Structure formats: structure tokens, C-alpha cells
Amino acid sequence: MPRYVFITGGVVSSLGKGIASSSLGALLEAHGLRVTLVKLDPYINVDPGTMNPFEHGEVYVTRDGAETDLDLGHYERFVRTPMGRNNNFTTGQIYESVIRRERRGDYLGSTVQVIPHITDEIKSCIASSAEGSDVAMVEIGGTVGDIESLPFLEAIRQMAFDLGRARTLFIHLTLVPYIATSGEIKTKPTQHSVKELRSIGIQPDLLLCRTDRPLPEKERRKIALFTNVEPRAVFTAPDVDTIYRLPRLYHEQGVDAVAMERLGFDAERRAIDLSEWDEVVARLDNPDGEVVVGMVGKYVHLADSYKSLNEALVHAGIAARTGVRVELIDAEEIERHGCAALERVDCVLAPGGFGSRGVEGKVQAARFARERRVPFLGICLGMQAAVIEFARNAAALAGANSTEFDRDARHPVIALLTEWIEGDGEVQHREDGGDLGGTMRLGAQEVALAPGTRAREAYGEPVIEERHRHRYEFNNRYLDPLRDAGLVISATTVDGELVEMVELSDHPWYVGCQFHPEFTSNARDGHRLFEAFVRAAVRYRELRSGAHDGVPREPGRAVLPDAGNGSDGDSVGDPGADSGSDSGAGDAAESASGRAGLAQPVH
């Protein structure tokens, strides 16, 4: 039967409960235990899928297509267990389920209340998610004292009562601030946070004290005394330069040993192997060089908006033994001031997003990378921006756009797909103006890679599986004119109906993908597409600096050899500030292809 570890947070939010849960989960997994992790979110949204990234950070997509909290990304980056829709529950989901049951009459006319009906539903969800595991790590979102999280806290209190303390463990992550003006570490916030937790019937077994310095023994014993926690179970959760140090740091402090002892596992009899994590940290500490990635995004003012993407770049640097520094560049700033900020980067990354704001900045960035021969990776909306740019400026399709931004676009090279078939064979439908939540192409789907392409070279196999989260697709009515202009369709769905990847054969490394490869990257394995992207950036940086021939290059004007196409690699002129400039030369293409409508797969 599974044991349960409940992780709560106190004093302030954003202390890193997800990272702490993931790190301990990695340690328990390294001891040979089957581990799963669950996130309970107190907001009333059914899922974070319709939330603005500025409001909630990244929306993480699981293999089964659930739109979840970004902490599930941390879980999958630290443990081998795949996450799914049963690993994230929200207040909205819980109440929705209870109300549906009440409408069906399942409660036999009873008055439906928070206790027991809501708490019973929470307990049922937790139990179902723990099936098949030795240990379920359950993280409660928010901060102790928040009114929204009270039903979840009450539910885990009841679970400890129902199952017994031998099968449950409470971990509380709390802040122990250092007051620089007085030169003192203050334990009072932690004392009050634990007092609040105990007032609702939960006594923590283990404390993780978030500090910017090691916790002195005096303060450790003081915290133990006032919180009724053994001194040996009060640990430092230090600030670190990389989160991948934490499994080793926690193990050296004995966090896993205390947790396993409380849960009835013999840590000494279960040998632990942390060599993979040690190798990850060694590579991070000893890079052979550094590349600068220019990430042209819409949500750059909140770091968590691109959490998985930032981590995937770190993972690629680990695999390539290269330091990766990300410069966040506001797409709207490019719209206003041009692409000067891209002159100093070694590659350009255009991530996903929704809505028209900043899209023309992404289009300009794609043109800069194409014409300056800078390595480029466009993901989801980033790929669509690259297609729009190519259509306008290389295929001479005046007015090319996506119907997401211009419903009456002259050349809708990106359009709303109204019907498609999921991997399980189920036909899905969507319509313009319909619900936004849960109506996208979501989750893992197989992708067929064309031979002889950079995509196939990067992945090294003909069929891959990647996760999707989008509503608009490449319009198949423009396949021929864009191919004729030089766009390579390097991957499609396995039935050949939807475009998954595009690239340019006459460019050193220019790739776009409709899926989100960042959701399947982790520190130990990396991701082949991101690794290829970073290695291309390394080559660009070396050639730009004249590393191979001793001749210094002008920034942004590297002479790069193409991969197997015989081109001399000369760069072309400045794309200029107006990436949206149109030419009447697109009339012939429109006449040949007819007025393009919405992309429709052929069944």
C-alpha cells in the first residue's frame, strides 16, 4: 500500500515547494522506490489552460493532454514517472465533480457540504493518483493561512487520521529570513507558520527551512523547540545556483534518511546511486564555452512563463557541455525598435503564445535569423511566425498571416483546424468562437520525420512522439507555393495530414516545430532537438568570432557553411525594420491556388 508525503508551504509563496518535492522524489526513486507526485491547486479554475502566463506562469502539458500547473514539469524533470491528468487537481475540478454528483442524485438528498463531501472527493483523488506507487508526494499549493487551501489541508489531516501516521509524513517548507541590517537570522516567521498549521490539526514531521545561508545549530534547535519537531528533522533548504544540486545536498543532510525512516523504509538497506545527478552538476560546473540564446517572447517579464523552455536550454547545454545564457527579448520591443537586440546573440528562439500582441516582433525576428543566417528555432507560434514571414518575404505572398490575427487575411497560411483525429482514433471538433478551455490539439502525438532533413538528423529516428498545445495549424492549401519558394516540410503527423515541422535547406540551421519539445526534456537525458539547436549556436559563435581561421567577423555577419547543400554560406542584407512589407508578386500564387480557406485534413 502506498505511503503519502504531504508538502505544505508557509510564510510566503514561491519558496519552491515543487522543487523540494521533486528533489525528495528523486532521492526516493534513487533508493529504488516507485514514486509519483501530485499537485493540489486551490484556485477555482478547472485547469490553468485559460490563464494568462503573467497570472500563473507556464501551463505544462502532460502526455495524456492535461493542461496543468508548471510544478508537474519539475516533477517530470526530476523523476522517471510520467505525469498525467491524475497528478493535478484544482478546487474547480473538485467542486465540478461534486456538483455533477449532486445533480445526478448520488448523495441521496443529503445536504452537500465541504465536510465531508468536498474533503472526501479530495481524498479520493489523492488515493487514485497514488495507485501503483510506493510513495505519493502530495504538494498543496498556496500558503498555510490562505482561505482557499483550507479544504485541501483538512483533507490531508483526515488522511493521516484514516491511514495512521506510519503511512503519512508531513513536510513543511518555510522561510527563515536573514536581516542584513541587524546581521541576524530570524526564526519567528517559521514559528508562526507552524503554529498556524498546528491550529488546524497538522503537526509537521520535517521542516525545510529556505535560507540564503546554512542554518546555524542554535537557530535549528530554537526552531525545533518552538515547532515540536525533532532537531534532526529540521533541514536547510539553501539557495542554489542550479536546482539540480538539491538531490545531492538533501541527501548529504539526511533528508531522505529521515523521511524513509518515518515511512517505515530502511534507507540503509536500499543503496542509493546519485551518479546521474553528479554528472549533471559536473557538466554544469565545467562547460567548454557559452552561447547566448535570444528568446523573443510575449511574456518575458515573468520568468516562470517559459520555465520548461529555459530548463530545456540548460539541459541542452549539459548535453553539449556548453553554458547557455538566455537573453529575454520582448517581441513588442522588436516591433518598436527593430532587431538590434539580436545582433549580439548566437541563436534566436521564438517560443509559443496566443493572441496578436507581439506577433509582428516574432515575424521580424524570424526574418532576421533567416536572412542573417543565425540558427533559429521556432516553437508553436514561433513556427507559425516563421511560416508567415517566409510566405510574405520569400514566397511573395502579400498579406500572408494567420486567421488568429486577421480573419480576413489575403493569404491565411496559418488557419483554424476544425476537425482532426486524436491518437486514440477519436474525432475532435472545434469551431471559431467556441470555448477556449480544453479545445486545443493537446498531448502526445506521433510525428513522422522526413529523411534527409535536419529534423531527422537531430532526432535520429523516423517517428517520434511530442506534446502539442495549439489551436491553429499550417494551412495545407499553401504547401505547394511555399515548397516552391524553398520551405522544407520536414515532419508531419503520421497520416501526413498536418504539418509538424518546417525548415530551410539553404540555411545553416533554421527549424520550426508545431509541438512543444520542451515538455519532454530533462536534465539527465536532455532533448535531441534542443541539443542540435545549441550545437548549431556553438558553431555560429565559433565562426562569428573567427575561431577557425583567426579572422574576426562582424557581429551578426558570420559566414556559415550549410549542411550538405554546397552553398557558400554568404549572408544577405539587413531585413530592415518592416518585416510586414508586402509585394504584389503574391497575386500569381493566389491565382494559381485559389482563395485559401481553413486548413482541412483529408480523411
Specify whether the CB–CB gap between 375 and 348 falls below 8 A.
yes
**C-alpha closest to that of 165 among 5, 360, 344, 332:** 5
- What b/e string do you get for 445-475 counting C-beta neighbours within 10 Å, with b at 16 or more? bebbbeeebbbbebbeeeebebbbbbbbbbb
Q: Which residues pair with 303 in a beta bridge?
A: none
The span from the CA of 403 to the CA of 385, in Å, is 12
> Does residue 11 contact residue 174 with C-beta atoms inside 8 Å?
yes
**To 10 degrees, the CA torsion angle through 137, 241, 377, 334?**
120
Q: How far is residue 199 CA from its own chain's centroid?
A: 36
Q: Which residues contact 84 (CB under 8 A, 6 or more apart)?
A: 62, 63, 64, 66
Architecture of the structural domain at 3-280: 3-Layer(aba) Sandwich (3.40)
Model confidence at 430, pLDDT cuts 50, 70, 90, reads: low
Decide: 342 and 574 in contact? Cβ < 8 Å.
Answer: no
State the residue for C-alpha cell 505511503: 3
pLDDT band at 48 (very low <50, low <70, confident <90, very high): confident
Distance CA 467, CA 444 (A): 4
> What is residue 205's predicted lDDT score, i.e. its pLDDT?
97
Residue 320, number of CB atoms within 10 A of its CB: 23
CA angle 501, 503, 508 (to 5 degrees): 145
Residue 374 pLDDT: 97
Mean pLDDT of 514-535: 97
- Chain mean position to CA 598: 29
pLDDT tens per residue, range 49-83: 777 776 778 999 999 999 999 999 999 999 999 99
CA–CA distance, 251 with 374 (Å, rounded to integer):
43
* Between 372 and 576, residue with greater pLDDT: 372
CATH number of 287-415+472-593: 3.40.50.880
Q: Strands of 3-9's sheet, edge to edge?
A: 88-90, 35-41, 135-140, 3-9, 168-175, 206-211, 234-238
How much of the chain exceeds pLDDT 90, in percent? 78
Environment class of 412 (CB within 10 Å of its CB; exposed 0-12, middle 13-18, buried 19+)? buried
CB 584 within 8 A of CB 392: no
pLDDT surpassing 50 at residue 107: yes
pLDDT of residue 552: 41
pLDDT tier, 436 (very low <50, low <70, confident <90, very high otherwise): very low
Residue 492 main-chain phi, psi, to 5 deg: -140, 175
pLDDT of residue 574: 36
**Closest C-alpha among 146, 116, 170 to residue 41:** 146
The mean per-residue pLDDT over the stretch 441-446 comes to 92
CATH 3.40.50.300 in the chain is located at 3-280
- CA-CA distance, 579 to 568, in Å (whole number)? 25
Compute the radius of gyration of the chain from its Cα atoms: 26
State the catalytic residues.
380, 516, 518
Q: What is the per-residue DSSP string for 480-503?
A: HHHHHTTEEEEEEETTS-SEEEEE
**431 band by pLDDT with thresholds 50, 70 and 90:** low
Q: Where in the chain is the domain with CATH 3.40.50.880?
A: 287-415+472-593
Region of residue 442 (left: phi > 0; alpha: psi -120 to 50; beta: else):
beta
Helix ranges (DSSP H) in 321-358: 331-337
Judge whether residue 534 has pLDDT over 90.
yes
For the residues 461-489, what does the mean pLDDT come to?
A: 95
pLDDT band (50, 70, 90) for residue 569: very low
User: How many other CB atoms are there within 10 angstroms of residue 24's CB atom?
Assistant: 29
105 touches 86 (CB < 8 A): no
Residues 85 and 128 sit within 8 Å (Cβ to Cβ): no
